[in-house]
């Protein structure tokens, strides 16, 4: 009996090995490219630099036009230099489409079970069968698959297909990878999947666009598997992608449409839908001693309009401010004066803000990033300076800067490197302390403010202007209480301007990095913009208690924020007929 099981094991092992070897190489009689073909000649999308237009009416990722798919199950897309090619799974056909009208110029059936990914290599059209895992090379003039290549070992569920550097690249969600193949058919490059569900692929210069139907996003990915930026999918189930040099084309499996998205020449700043809120700041000044307090001042930073927030009406205070001040960073501050706080009693100073808030996403493309010479001199003067919490000349900090940035010169890529560096070196810990940058690096943990100090110190030491913003966050429900608040840094990257960065959240998967640079969601009201120690609020960004009389009084301050959704004013009822 043992001999029988041994034979079975050997046969299974050898069979598995033979199967893998066979599936990784093309058939002997099937070269990777046909030697002779009447395939239509074309060109790959030109590798021209992508331009951004700050303030343009059309944003990067906006839908410019769309038309219905000629079949009900659109999967792969490709651009041959003049026309779009679409793979349709139900009819098992390939369609050549006029990109202006969506009119079918040509169509033919292919001998594949589930045609999905399409790619154009400049001369031939490629198609992948996600069921048999076969690659087909298509003669588009004759309307037939001229060569079929035995399944590649890309993974169990190949879907997207693209062509770059004389390599066929295949995305596979179950293998969680994008794999590139050369003439031999063996995998030469394997990119770990940075998104949740790898879908369609398209090449833009040296990068891949990749769809993710779970997150309804389309990610721009490097060949190292880094997600540079993301745009929203125009439909709920994006499949095929194609890039024509200026626009990204997206096929959607649920809406059965083909979408044309703006890429080149678009506005990189994408704004979300507004929601209106009322936020009430409370600073409860508590007299814990047995001496009455004659007077005490509460300093509130005053919010202003920003891309992600619009202040509705005037910010109100109780009591009314004794004066409005402006610190060295340009931050306006209200000084509220409280008097006659009895023994073991409490008085409150409040600030009420009504605002329309929305998400902001800046789509940053590395090639469009300017250099340090394009940064305004006044920005450099203010936001490259040193301060108590930064100590940019400290040996620990200088060592970290050298270790982090190396020879990087691109301001955007350097920012990404710094976020990843801090994610590896520091863990989040809310211990109520604010230590300086070198101390936080030494201890290996810190709060959002301490992450911010380290980030600003290292960025400034590297020559990248950095500042911080702070405020209150909606905590889950729209009617909520915030007593923790949040602070994060911003860096100045030309031509984009000030770009938000979130360094204090651990990176769990690659695509998260696109949300940590250039993105602020629609649950923040920012009150403070600063570069360091403020004349009036010092290092805080909420409310500061100062000028307590008499000095020996035992006084503390407790701050909290109440959030409420702000309903639009009710319209007057129509008179009855």
Going along the chain from its start, the domains and CATH numbers come out as: 33-267 (2.120.10.30), 275-358+538-565 (2.60.40.2250), 360-520 (3.10.620.30)
> CB–CB of 490/498 below 8 Å?
yes
Closest alpha carbon to 569 in 377, 409, 399, 354: 354
Let me know how long the chain is.
577
Q: How far apart are CA 435 and CA 108, in angstroms?
A: 68
Tokens, residue 443: 């201890």
The rounded distance, in Å, linking the Cα atoms of 411 and 498 is 12
Exposed, middle or buried by CB within 10 Å (0-12, 13-18, 19+), for 150? Answer: middle
Alpha carbons 357 and 563: distance in angstroms, whole number: 12
pLDDT at 175: 85
pLDDT computed for residue 103 by the predictor: 97
**pLDDT score at 45:** 52
- Give backbone dihedrals phi and psi of 318, rounded to 5 degrees, phi first: -145, 115
pTM: 0.87
pLDDT at 184: 62
Backbone angles phi, psi at 264, to 5 degrees: -75, 130
Maximum separation of any 2 CA atoms in the chain, in Å: 98
Report the DSSP pairing between strands 445-446 and 544-549: unpaired
Q: Residue 84 has which token pair?
A: 């779009």
pLDDT at 186: 62
Torsion of CA 403, 361, 252, 143, to 10 degrees: -60
Q: What is the pLDDT of residue 6?
A: 40
Mean pLDDT in runs of 10 for the chain (577 residues)? Answer: 40 31 33 41 61 94 98 96 96 96 96 93 90 88 81 74 90 88 70 86 95 93 91 96 97 98 96 97 95 96 98 98 98 98 94 98 94 97 97 98 97 97 93 93 97 98 98 95 97 98 84 90 97 97 96 94 82 41
């Amino acid at each position: 009996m043992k001999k029988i099981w041994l034979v079975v094991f050997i046969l299974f092992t050898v069979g598995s090995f033979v199967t893998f070897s066979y599936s990784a190489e093309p058939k002997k009689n099937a070269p990777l490219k046909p030697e002779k073909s009447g395939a239509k000649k074309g060109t790959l999308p030109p590798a021209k630099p992508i331009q951004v237009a700050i303030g343009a009416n059309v944003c990067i990722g906006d839908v410019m036009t769309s038309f219905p798919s000629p079949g009900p199950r659109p999967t792969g897309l490709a651009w041959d230099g003049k026309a779009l090619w679409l793979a349709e799974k139900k009819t098992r056909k390939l369609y050549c489409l006029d990109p202006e009208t969506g009119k079918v110029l040509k169509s033919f059936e292919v001998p594949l079970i589930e045609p999905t990914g399409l790619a154009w290599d400049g001369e031939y059209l490629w198609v992948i069968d996600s069921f048999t895992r076969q690659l087909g090379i298509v003669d588009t003039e004759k309307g037939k698959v001229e060569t079929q290549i035995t399944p590649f070992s890309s993974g169990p569920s190949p879907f997207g297909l693209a062509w770059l550097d004389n390599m066929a690249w295949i995305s596979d969600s179950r293998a969680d990878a994008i794999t590139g193949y050369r003439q031999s058919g063996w995998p030469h490059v394997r990119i770990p999947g940075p998104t949740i569900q790898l879908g369609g692929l398209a090449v833009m210069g040296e990068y891949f666009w990749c769809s993710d139907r779970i997150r309804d996003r389309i990610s721009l990915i490097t060949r190292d598997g880094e997600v540079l930026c993301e745009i929203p999918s125009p439909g709920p189930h994006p499949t095929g992608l194609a890039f024509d040099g200026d626009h990204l084309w997206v096929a959607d499996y649920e809406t059965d449409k083909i979408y044309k998205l703006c890429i080149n020449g678009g506005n990189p700043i994408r704004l979300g839908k507004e929601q209106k809120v009322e936020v009430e700041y409370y600073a409860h000044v508590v007299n814990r001693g047995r001496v009455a307090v004659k007077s005490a001042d509460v300093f509130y930073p005053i919010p202003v309009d920003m891309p992600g927030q619009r202040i509705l009406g005037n910010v109100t205070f109780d009591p009314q401010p004794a004066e409005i001040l402006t610190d060295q960073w340009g931050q306006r501050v209200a000084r509220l004066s409280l008097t006659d706080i009895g023994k073991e009693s409490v008085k409150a100073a409040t600030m009420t803000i009504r605002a329309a808030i929305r998400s902001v996403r800046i789509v940053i493309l590395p090639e469009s990033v300017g250099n340090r010479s394009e940064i305004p001199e006044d920005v450099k003067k203010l936001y490259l300076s040193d301060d108590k919490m930064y100590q940019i000349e400290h040996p620990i900090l200088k060592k970290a800067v050298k270790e982090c940035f190396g020879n990087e010169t691109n301001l955007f890529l350097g920012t990404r490197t710094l976020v990843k560096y801090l994610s590896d070196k520091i863990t989040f810990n809310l211990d109520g302390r604010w230590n300086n940058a070198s101390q936080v690096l030494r201890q290996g943990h810190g709060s959002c403010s301490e992450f911010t100090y380290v980030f600003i110190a290292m960025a400034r030491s590297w020559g990248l202007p950095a500042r911080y913003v702070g405020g209150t966050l909606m905590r889950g429900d729209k009617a909520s209480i915030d007593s923790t608040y949040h602070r994060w840094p911003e860096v100045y990257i030309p031509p984009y301007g000030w770009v938000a960065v979130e360094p204090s959240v651990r990176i769990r998967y690659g695509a998260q990095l696109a949300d940590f640079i250039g993105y602020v969601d629609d649950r923040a009201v920012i009150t403070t913009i600063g570069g360091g120690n403020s004349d009036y609020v010092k290092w805080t960004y909420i409310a500061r208690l100062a000028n307590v009389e008499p000095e020996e009084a035992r006084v503390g301050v407790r701050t909290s924020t109440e959030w409420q959704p702000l309903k639009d004013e009710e319209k007057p009822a129509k008179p009855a007929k």
